[in-house]
Structure 1
Amino acid sequence: MRLLAIGAAVLSFASTTLCAEKGNLTKPLASRLILPSTFKPPQNFKNVNLVHIINLEKSYPKEQINVVIENIAGTPQDEYFIPFTSQQMATIGGLEVKDKKNLDRGLFEVRAVEFDPESDTQFYRVRLAQPLAPKAQITLGITYSYLSALHPLPKHIGQQESQFLVYEFSAYCPSAYVTLKQKTEVKFPSGNVPEYTIVPGGEVESPVKAGSKFTYGSFGEVPVGAVEPVKVRYEFTKPLIHVSRLERDIEVSHWGGNVAFEERYTLHNHAANLTNQFSRVQWAAQQYYNPSSTAIKELKFPLKVGSLDPYFTDVIGNVSTSRFRSNKREANLEIKPRYPVFGGWNYPFRVGWNADLKKFLRKLSTGQGYVLNVPFLEGPKQPEGMEYEHIELRVILPEGAKNVKYSTAVPLTSEAISLHRTFMDTTGRTALTLKAINIVDDFRDRELIVTYDYPLLAGLRKPLVIFVTVFGLFAAAWAIGSINVGIKGKK
């Protein structure tokens, strides 16, 4: 990655010191609480009122559950369980729980519970910020998304045909507790929903349609674990962008005054495949009236203000079909793949840029500590949304950085600190590696705060190494030049 100290940007560090002191704010998704195989969630709560919202306006389903829970036990309780199937557990991402009426409490601790690997029902355990007193109530806001949960039907379409997706869910929101009243709202990208399941019962026959929104319910008391399968098929004339792997590097250079970003994508389009071969002539003719298409035409990167010197390459080489606008208000990079990426096609590429380090880093007033504040995830911002199956983020700090700590609101699976060796290094640069799975673009621009100590001697190490190396070369050249290699005859 190239080093160039250019640009101007504004970044607030108002809460940096507080977050840095807390260290890692996340709980790894991979770590599970092991409980006996006979475990069943204790019936300490009941759901007084529940509203389940399913948003299908993007290329991944996003679900939200707003539920009023009441403690029906005789003692204060702080553990609430959310059930999912084994398949859902493998694809669920970004599960967050908060108090809807008191957002200042922040996110509640959420951990996966493993009790019986043979069971199709698994649980997430929510730990409330404070135990809920008997007969007291609290309103929980639960949000999460599913990756690779939408399937085109039919699986193959013509180049100009519309795409329809299928999604399956339950009209009764699955719960580990009795629910007294509930309803499920489904938001579609348009009103074109040719197929959907009709659920009898409730106040009226479900669903109740209002434009592009369907409502199932309201339903009366529903027992624990009850489900009512629903299948919908709706029009979605956009690509399904899936990134199976994203490798994001952030390289910090104190001497260069630069922070360099590079992202390497393994991108797929999970939309319906083409029935016939791709027609370049037909594609060119379509562009005059710009219809909706399941192909990925372009990718738009809204970068931080002050970002400069971008580059964009794929497996063949540099791609010149791009546009970069940078001024005091914005820095937007727009790139077009070498070919339109239709359903079933792949497109691996990399993109990088530089920025002024001063806008992301500040030195603490005391000691030798520094605070780095960067986005955990940037990447393209598409109207249809994007999903990331695996993310590996490396923050490469200067050589000699130590006592590294971090904070982020992104759920992680693992962390590691290692050495990254490049040219003119002695022991190697300190690298913080963070991994996450099943992340969607709703997590764009969430902060990653890294604190570390960087002693003065460590900062002088590289110029000393360069000085000694250059001096050694000159000394060696002088020594070699002073050797008399001439041949003289005997007198």
Structure 2
Amino acid sequence: MWKLLVFFAFLAVSRAAEDVNPNLINKNVVRTIDLNSQLVKISGTITIENTGKTPVNSYLIGFERDLVGSVSYIGVQESQKNPLKVSQVSVIGRGTSEQFYNVQLRQAIEPGKTSTIIFEVVLTKALNPYPTSIAQKDKQLVRYFGNHYFYSPYPTKTQKTEVLVSARSLENYSKLKPVSQSDSTITYGPYENIDPFSINPLTVHYENNAPFLTVTKVERTIEISHWGNIAVEESIEIRHTGAKLKGSFSRYDYQRDSNTNHHSIKSYRTILPALAHNIYYRDMNGNISTSSVKPRKDYIELELKPRFPLFGGWQSSYILGYSVPSYPYLFKKPSGEFILKIRLLDHIFDDMAVDEVETNIVLPVGVSDVKVKTPYEVKRLPDGVTYKYLDNLGRNVIRASKSNLVEQHIQDIEVTYTWKSHFLLHEPVLVSIALFFIFVVVIIYVRLDFSIGKPEHSKKE
């Protein structure tokens, strides 16, 4: 029995190991690591060379184990700006299974040829405040832990990395030669002949007073009406995830010298659709008036100010709602079906990090044959039914959730369904029937005499 188990284990390892093509090498890698916000944005180009005798149509991109959980988004495209399909796979590296991303190349790399791809990666929670607690007037320092080398299952001939930081004065950074610093840029390399799965710790300790504002949860409800309106409401919980505030908060010091409150969050900007109207913004205490709406050419800029400034460890919650006309989002296909294209997640603030989003799409009364297409993998929750005004049939609710999102996840979800136009008369008919019965009851009540005795004038007669 144990021999059989060993055989299947060996077979599984062999299949995973086959994902790493030994004929591929990274001829040249150029990386840029942007540390200017609360997100770590890694971008660059990879020149891939096929040294084998058969064409290759896939390539693996990997991350160190410490960073795998922080990967929120990865996008790869060819030099012609054509996005490539990326899927997560398991690969054997250093004797254990690791998570990699398999990139399907649009055109296979022929033997002896090269191809160049462009990649973009966004990491969340990859910057650690150090110290973890600071006073109200202190500056916020953070540390980034990475790798001097481009982590890859393939050997790399030459590579170069630039690290961009938000302050010219750095506390400290690792110095694997050759290394140089110019203003806010640290340049590592070029390094040559790097083995597969190579790791050499990179650390950067620097000042970063960018807003470390995280959306811990957002519940987004989208209500569709075939009368020409779409109502959107978002219940948002936010938290300052930077260095925690040490000691008590002084309102006097805060108002006297606001320039020293580097790491506090006083306000932030939300982007709404250009056709948004009936905008409202409230929290548990009611309407928040400290907000401003600024119409732009292609969008509406809404500046939101919480009731109190947010310091490290502080949190707040609020509700934001608005309406938009349905014609830019709801279309009728020649087959008679309707297709809804609307964002699964919308812009909340710049460089946002969202821990969890739950989107509920409330469809009109009488829909059938519902089909859902998502721009990326999401968790489909059980569909629900809700009842709105004058609903006796109920409305289908499409529910989906996803965790660890950033701005690159602002993409459309497509919902296709069948709906008959006579359902437009559903609510008017219900209103007419209700009014008819009310009038009948009133007429009966007025006509009938429920008194016990007769009036005096009737007795005299």
TM-score, length of structure 1 as denominator length: 0.82
TM-fit CA distance, 1:176:
0.7
Distance in 2 between the 1:424 and 1:343 partners?
46
Distance in 1 between the 2:403 and 2:268 partners?
22
Give the equivalent residue in structure 1 for 2:122: 145
Spell out, residue by residue over 1:389-434, the C-alpha distance to the aligned partner (whole angstroms, 9 max, x if none).
Answer: 1111222221122333455545534466443332322332232223
- Aligned: 1:296 with 2:274: no
Distance in 1 between the 2:297 and 2:207 partners?
40
Q: Which amino acid in the other structure matches residue 56 of structure 1?
A: L
Q: Find 1:46's aligned residue among 2, 6, 25.
A: 25
Give the equivalent residue in structure 2 for 1:345: 314
Q: Secondary structure in 1 aligned to 2:63?
A: strand
Give the equivalent residue in structure 1 for 2:60: 81
Give the equivalent residue in structure 2 for 1:322: 291
Q: Secondary structure in 1 aligned to 2:203?
A: strand
Give the equivalent residue in structure 1 for 2:426: 461
Which shifted more, 303-312 or 475-484?
475-484
What does 1:378-389 align with in structure 2 at a 5 Å threshold? 378-382=346-350, 385-389=351-355
Q: CA RMSD in A?
A: 2.6
- Aligned: 1:248 with 2:220: yes
Which shifted more, 290-299 or 303-312?
290-299
Distance in 2 between the 1:106 and 1:379 partners?
22
Q: Which amino acid in the other structure matches residue 440 of structure 1?
A: V
Q: Secondary structure in 2 aligned to 1:469?
A: helix
Q: Find 2:172's aligned residue among 184, 192, 195.
A: 195
Spell out, residue by residue over 1:344-389, the C-alpha distance to the aligned partner (whole angstroms, 9 max, x if none).
Answer: 111121111122223433434x34333333333323333xx22111
TM-fit CA distance, 1:465:
2.7
Give the equivalent residue in structure 2 for 1:429: 395
Give the equivalent residue in structure 2 for 1:487: 452
- Alpha-carbon spacing, 1:170–1:115, altered in 2? closer, same or farther (3 Å): closer
- Aligned: 1:131 with 2:108: yes
Q: Find 1:371's aligned residue among 333, 336, 339.
A: 339
Aligned residues: 441
- Aligned: 1:451 with 2:419: no
Distance in 2 between the 1:88 and 1:230 partners?
13
Q: Which amino acid in the other structure matches residue 423 of structure 1?
A: Y
Q: Which amino acid in the other structure matches residue 252 of structure 1?
A: I
- Alpha-carbon spacing, 1:112–1:472, altered in 2? closer, same or farther (3 Å): farther
Gaps in structure 1 of 5+ consecutive residues: 1-34
Which shifted more, 335-344 or 154-163?
154-163
Give the equivalent residue in structure 2 for 1:23: none
Q: Secondary structure in 1 aligned to 2:12?
A: coil
Determine if contact 2:75/2:83 at 8 Å carries over to the other structure. Answer: no
Distance in 2 between the 1:322 and 1:189 partners?
28
Structure with larger Rg? 2
Q: Which amino acid in the other structure matches residue 40 of structure 2?
A: P
TM-fit CA distance, 1:466:
2.8
- Alpha-carbon spacing, 1:170–1:359, altered in 2? closer, same or farther (3 Å): same
- Aligned: 1:62 with 2:41: yes
Give the equivalent residue in structure 1 for 2:357: 391
Distance in 2 between the 1:285 and 1:410 partners?
48
Determine if contact 1:164/1:236 at 8 Å carries over to the other structure. Answer: yes
Which shifted more, 183-192 or 478-487?
478-487
Give the equivalent residue in structure 2 for 1:280: 251
Distance in 1 between the 2:384 and 2:56 partners?
41
Distance in 2 between the 1:406 and 1:421 partners?
21
Determine if contact 2:62/2:101 at 8 Å carries over to the other structure. Answer: yes
- Alpha-carbon spacing, 1:386–1:427, altered in 2? closer, same or farther (3 Å): same
Distance in 2 between the 1:406 and 1:348 partners?
30
Spell out, residue by residue over 1:87-120, the C-alpha distance to the aligned partner (whole angstroms, 9 max, x if none).
Answer: 4332211112221x222x333232343889x947
Q: Find 2:436's aligned residue among 458, 462, 471.
A: 471
Give the equivalent residue in structure 2 for 1:17: none
Gaps in structure 2 of 5+ consecutive residues: 1-10
Which shifted more, 133-142 or 325-334?
325-334
Q: Which amino acid in the other structure matches residue 126 of structure 2?
A: A
Determine if contact 1:237/1:292 at 8 Å carries over to the other structure. Answer: no
Q: Secondary structure in 2 aligned to 1:180?
A: strand
Which shifted more, 54-63 or 409-418?
409-418
Q: In proportion to residue count, which structure has more strand?
A: 2
- Alpha-carbon spacing, 1:349–1:197, altered in 2? closer, same or farther (3 Å): same
Distance in 2 between the 1:114 and 1:98 partners?
22
Determine if contact 2:38/2:124 at 8 Å carries over to the other structure. Answer: no
TM-fit CA distance, 1:454:
2.1
- Aligned: 1:36 with 2:6: no
- Alpha-carbon spacing, 1:281–1:474, altered in 2? closer, same or farther (3 Å): same
Q: Secondary structure in 1 aligned to 2:308?
A: coil
Spell out, residue by residue over 1:158-212, the C-alpha distance to the aligned partner (whole angstroms, 9 max, x if none).
Answer: 2111111100000001101111111111111121212001113xxxx22x11221
Higher relative contact order, structure no. (Cα contacts within 8 Å, ≥ 6 residues apart): 1
Q: Which runs of 4+ in 1 moved over 6 A?
A: none
Identity among equivalent pairs (%): 27
Distance in 2 between the 1:317 and 1:262 partners?
15
TM-score, length of structure 2 as denominator length: 0.87
Determine if contact 1:60/1:145 at 8 Å carries over to the other structure. Answer: yes
Distance in 2 between the 1:135 and 1:415 partners?
48
Determine if contact 2:64/2:151 at 8 Å carries over to the other structure. Answer: no
Q: Find 1:209's aligned residue among 165, 173, 181.
A: 181
Which shifted more, 469-478 or 353-362?
469-478
Distance in 1 between the 2:152 and 2:91 partners?
17
Q: Secondary structure in 1 aligned to 2:286?
A: coil
